[in-house]
Amino acid sequence: MEGNIDFDYLSELFKTDPVKFEQVRREKIDKMIQSASESSQRRLKGLQFQIDAKREIYKHKPFVSCMEISKLMHSSFEKMRYELNKCVGNKRYLDYQAHNSLNQGAESPQEVTILQIKR
């Protein structure tokens, strides 16, 4: 399993030994960060800190934790897309992104409907 991430192994480990799972997870993440260039390691450590903080805050709500981490990813992606559009002079998308960021500045609660799935 060295170097690869075996989903089935990790899934089983999570079910049978959550403490060991967390240890393996942390080792894999640290190894991945250490394999990055020195200039990227600081950013990756900061990002991992944010992810770990979201996981800790919502440790009893795994779905919420996942959604919060997803928001981090999407926010970063939007920033990257904005910078790329700026580099290529794509004014139409820059205007669109600027308009959307103004409208989404302060996140407002969204109304959702949760569907019950019967088994």
pLDDT tens across 39-72, in order?
Answer: 899 999 999 999 999 999 999 999 999 999 999 9
- Per-residue pLDDT at 100: 65
The listed range with the strongest mean pLDDT (72-76, 85-89, 103-107) is 72-76
Of 41, 40, 17, the C-alpha closest to 30 is: 41
| pLDDT beyond 90 at 37 | yes
Q: What percent of the chain has pLDDT over 90?
A: 55
State how far the Cα of 45 lies from the Cα of 90, in Å rounded to an integer: 32
The listed range with the strongest mean pLDDT (1-5, 63-67, 114-118) is 63-67
| pLDDT beyond 80 at 30 | yes
Q: What is the dihedral of CA 59, 63, 66, 70, to 10 degrees?
A: -140
- Per-residue pLDDT at 48: 96
State how far the Cα of 101 lies from the Cα of 84, in Å rounded to an integer: 16
State how far the Cα of 35 lies from the Cα of 19, in Å rounded to an integer: 25
Mean of the pLDDT values across residues 79-96?
A: 77
pLDDT band at residue 108 under the 50/70/90 scheme: very low
